[in-house]
Amino acid sequence: MIQSQSERKRIEELRHLLRQANYAYYVLDAPIMEDAVYDQLYRELQTLESEYSEFITPDSPTQRVGEKPATHFTSIRHNIPLYSLENAFSIDELQGWDQRWRRQVPKLDRVEYVSELKIDGSALALTYENGLLVRGVTRGDGVVGEDITQNVRTIRSIPLRLNFADAKSWEKVEVRGEVFLPIEVFKQINAERQKAGENLFANPRNAAAGTLRQLDPRIVAQRRLDFFAYTLHISGMDDASIANTQWEALELLAKMGFPVNPNHKLCHSISEVAEYYEHWDTERLNLPYMTDGVVVKLNSFKLQEQLGFTQKFPRWAIALKYPAEEAPTRVENISVNVGRTGALTPLAEMRPVQLAGTTVSRATLHNSDRILQLDIRIGDTVIVRKAGEIIPEVVRVLKELRPENTQPFTMPTHCPVCGQWVVRESGEAVTRCVNASCPAILKGEIEHWVSRDALDIKGMGEKLVHQLVDRGLVSSVADLYDLTVEQLCALERMGEKSAQKLTDAVAHSKKQPWFRVLYGLGIRHVGTVNAQLLTQKYPTVEQLATAKQSDIEGIYGIGAEIAQSVYQWFRITANQVLIERLQQAGLQLAAAEVKTTVSTSVQKLAGKTFVITGTLPTLSRDEAKQLIQNAGGKVTNSVSKKTNYLLVGEDAGSKLSKAEVLGITQLTEAVLLQMLAD
């Protein structure tokens, strides 16, 4: 016993020395020992841990690389959503953002901004419990990501244990950052792949993303990914007692042992931010990693909380990106599209041009203000780029090439689809058709309802939706559930077999979960992320429909604008009728109803042993246990080598750490229900 305690003390001493060496080498870039010395100490630790396996801990340097490849990645719900950032592409747009948020918080005397380089990699969410790394999750859709903890543990610049004395008393620490591949490493990997006759990675960002999703962590370790931390959340603590600004948070992250990009700057004016952006426009070419812009955040956490979020973005931050690829082309026509919210969007129809690897023939002109600003006309030669490398837009008009006798374009006074008067409300840049019966609005609503992120009705394309509306077969999304094979067969290019497949797809959409239905309703400002946040708080449509606006606004990530939109939507009689019809059709308007879709007669989990830890989103532990047992599975209270799956909820405890050491597959509630439903 005395000898084992002596060996345990030596093991802890070796771990401490190796952690210090790793931090100095991978984070500080200032080695404190020779490689040969490090290797000798590492081998000694390996030997001792193999002899005294009871002393192995998840944060040991020897546990960075898992022994077995993963068979798949488990979906994990983020404790705090990972919101994307609004993009700006010029100093003018940066100043526009600055003016917008200032209108919500007037009379501010002094404002500080933190400017950070926008690393071109993959976002990562890290969770530490009592100072130990317990989970690493990809961004995913911002609400749910993939658990890649095994791979994260191979990244040497990410600490397995927080290097901070107070961290042991912190129940949960959430760290967000960017995983990236240094340019030289990227070149080396591609050279090796070319030599082996394998496909080359397109760029370091794709290489980093592909590496993170490797099932074998040993391959991940070989590729030498790196990491920069930029966001910190500490659960159960008064943030002001730890860090009340972004600048202080970055300093604390560095003290904890995380690499923080050294090029961040505290700016005292928006013009200082602009200078930082312009400086790195050329200097970034000398960096050993890729960066595609600058992230600007308001420094004060109190101000960040006050401003909150829009549907998609935090109001207190913006990504100021460097210019994307641009190309000249000619405008052949300007058309106006009417969307599902009635918004009239002008589009430039152009001579096709290659842009960022794709052929572009149409580009958004946004609204009448943008048309006036550009002074764009049919026949003009324009410069087009892809905003955010996704949406083509016109940057500027080359007026020196303008043909004679061109006429300024003006937005229509009547809806181009239904002929009704259009309106432009005070304070809005968008012109809208307000005719609720407008076929274009109805078509847009149905196209949104059947889209992949909503009800995902396969086979219900744009042309079919237009036929259904034009022939009067559908005047509401609820009418889709009354369609018959006979009605569908009467449509163009629709045979009986295709009609049957489509009605089956419509029927199958009734199984889609409540958050998808909510998103599919098309409530203004409610995207996929917000829909999940809302249904997590309000698991039934009745609860959401009767919720107070102030209560909705209290959800983290849901601002006043979204809350007002949701509250008002449920006050409209026509929408109440729609909800009733959808309930009658059998759609899932309550999260708990997912349970009823699971068959208890099929023994899908026979021979499998489960352990449950943490608080599940909608199921109680007893309910989850009953579902598993009904499907032939076994539920035990402790994790062992015989455990097949660990069902993980929020605030998971020591069972999660033990499961990770043993390599037990982790499941979320959603994945379990999917296993039972498939």
Identify the bridge partners of residue 665 per DSSP, sorted by sequence position: 645
399 a known binding residue? no
35 is in an annotated binding site: yes
Q: What is the dihedral of CA 647, 649, 652, 654, to 10 degrees?
A: 0
Query: Would you say 21 and 42 are in contact if contact means Cβ atoms under 8 Å apart?
Result: no
Of 459, 415, 467, nearest in space to 443 by CA: 467
Tell me the chain's radius of gyration from C-alpha atoms. Answer: 28
Task: Report the alpha-carbon distance of residue 402 to residue 380 in Å, rounded.
Answer: 5
- Is 38 annotated in a binding site? The answer is yes
Q: Is 50 annotated as a binding residue?
A: no
Burial pattern 171-199, b for ≥16 Cβ within 10 A else e, equals ebbbbbbbbbbbeebbeebbeeeeeeeee
Is 647 part of any known ligand binding site? Answer: no
For 208, the token pair is 């980093």
**Dihedral angle computed from the Cα positions of residues 590, 594, 597 and 603, in that order, rounded to the nearest 10 degrees:** -160
Distance CA 597, CA 605 (A): 16
Q: Annotation-wise, does 418 bind a ligand?
A: yes
Q: Is 178 annotated as a binding residue?
A: yes
The alpha carbon of residue 211 and the mean position of all alpha carbons in its chain are separated, in whole angstroms, by 18
Q: Is 489 annotated as a binding residue?
A: no
Residue 37 annotated as part of some ligand binding site: yes
Under 8 Å CB-to-CB from 240, ≥6 apart: which residues? 301, 302
Known catalytic membership, residue 118: yes
Q: What is the rounded CA–CA span in Å between residue 158 and residue 360?
A: 41
Q: Strand locations in 139-260, DSSP E?
A: 144-147, 173-180, 226-234
Of the listed 68, 118, 386, 537, which one is catalytic?
118
**Which is nearest to 232 in space by CA: 172, 302, 319?**
172
Residue (of 144, 152, 158) closest to 212 by Cα position: 152
Quick one: 249 exposed, middle or buried, by C-beta within 10 A (0-12, 13-18, 19+)? buried
Distance CA 563, CA 13 (A): 54
Is 463 known to sit in a ligand binding site? no
Tell whether 380 is in a known binding site.
no
Q: If we measure between CA atoms, which residue out of 70, 83, 210, 223 comes closest to residue 147?
A: 70
- To the question of whether residue 116 is assigned a binding role by annotation, the answer is yes
Residue 587, annotated ligand binder? no
Structure tokens at 449: 């309802």
Q: State the CB neighbour count (10 A cutoff) for residue 388.
A: 14
Quick one: how far is CA 666 from the chain centroid? 21
Q: Which residues are annotated as a binding site for Zn(2+)?
A: 415, 418, 438
Q: Which residues are annotated as a binding site for NAD(+)?
A: 35-39, 84-85, 116, 139, 178, 297, 321
Annotated catalytic residues are: 118
Q: Which residues are annotated as a binding site?
A: 35-39, 84-85, 116, 139, 178, 297, 321, 415, 418, 438
